[in-house]
Structure 1
Amino acid sequence: MTPKEFFDKVVEMRRCQKEYLKNKRQIDLRISKQIEREVDEEIERVQKILHDKQNPQLFLTMVNMKILDLPLKAKWYEMIESGNKKEEYREIKKYWIGRLAKCGGRNSYEKTGFYCKKGICFSCITRGNGFHPKEYTHVRFRFGYTKRTMLFELESITIGVGNTNWGAPDNECVFILKLGKCIKKNESKDSTEFQPKNS
């Protein structure tokens, strides 16, 4: 949120509050409460940034991170959070090739020095060049689409057969995201508001 947007929200909040005091209309109260929540969230966000800046080592580390953001269903999020799941998996399909492969599925040897045959990442392996992942340093898991998150070091992105107990398909190659240590967790107060279903 920009400073101007923040200012406009505060002005609108105060207008609705005054209207409610004057006319006692529930619509004004509801709108003012909604804007108040947005204002509080922005204040919390800025305070967090200021806190991180006061810790130069943490702030510089955060600035230099290349973070992959992934929402997870409750079961997998909680397994990773507990330390029982050390890898996360994604199918080798066009969308994930675009997000995880350095070539994005649109590569030529002349441009990058390695081949990728129409986004089929197995060709990188069979040609002997190895798989070329994007250069992410960390992965941030989100509990569904809530504000509850945890940030991990990302040790590697490879292709192989994963652990079926950790959600990998049986005898099928997938992208394997190998996790390092947990850097930080953000336990949001409203993390259960849009809690993802287990599957």
Structure 2
Amino acid sequence: MEKEVLTLTVSKEWFDMIVSGEKNEEYRVIKDFWMSRLLLIKDEKFKDFDKYDKLHIGKTFEMLIDINAIKEKLNNGTMKFVPFTHVLFKNGYYDDSPKVEKEIESITIGKPKKGLCPGRWLDHEFFIIKFK
């Protein structure tokens, strides 16, 4: 399999935990921006249902995002995660910002673990990028 890298920018607190091995999951909110980066959807115009195209959802439809519908589409094969193999974490937006690359174990949807995100988000569902 060809190496596919997802680049994520994180704050120093989380970056340091990732580098030390204390943090092995990163979370991204289920909104159109992250859906378009992390999900692929079957294009029904093509007879070859193995053909996937990037998912694009307009900002006006963010309020209509149904997490259960996304999970159902993931389960029935009409949607899948982009096959990223690695995640490159950056602490900052400059070329010389600290970086660390980790192998991705899985990308799923679920609730975050205590201590790996701000406490106020523990009852929310996110895209979970689990890495080694």
TM range (shorter): 0.7 to 0.9
Give the whole-Å Cα distance in 1 for the aligned partners of 2:106 and 2:66: 19
CA distances 1:51-84 after superposition (whole Å, capped 9, x unpaired):
xxxxxxxxxx9xx311001111000000111110
Q: For this pair of structures, how many residues does the alignment match?
A: 113
Which sections of structure 1, spanning at least 5 residues, go unmatched? 1-60, 181-199
The C-alpha deviation readout for 1:4-37, integer Å capped at 9, x for no partner, is xxxxxxxxxxxxxxxxxxxxxxxxxxxxxxxxxx
- The one-letter amino acid of 1:129's match is N
Q: How many angstroms does 1:151 deviate by?
A: 0.6
Tell me the amino acid that sits aligned with residue 175 of structure 1. Answer: F
CA separation of 1:120 and 1:126: change in aligned 2, threshold 3 A: same
> Which one has a larger percent helix, Structure 1 or Structure 2?
1
- Whole-Å separation in 2 of the counterparts to 1:83 and 1:75: 13
Q: Which ranges in structure 2 are unaligned for 5 or more consecutive residues?
A: 58-64
Cα distance in 2 for residues equivalent to 1:68 and 1:74: 18
Q: Comparing both structures, which one devotes a greater share of its residues to strand?
A: 2
1:97-176 equivalent positions in 2, closer than 5 A? 97-103=35-41, 108-111=43-46, 112=49, 120=66, 122-126=68-72, 128-129=75-76, 132-146=80-94, 147=96, 148-167=98-117, 169-176=121-128
Residue 97 of structure 1 contacts residue 121 of structure 1 at CA under 8 Å; is this kept in 2?
no
- Structure showing greater radius of gyration is 1
SS at match of 1:89: strand
**More off after superposition, 156-165 vs 119-128:** 119-128
CA RMSD between the two structures? 2.6
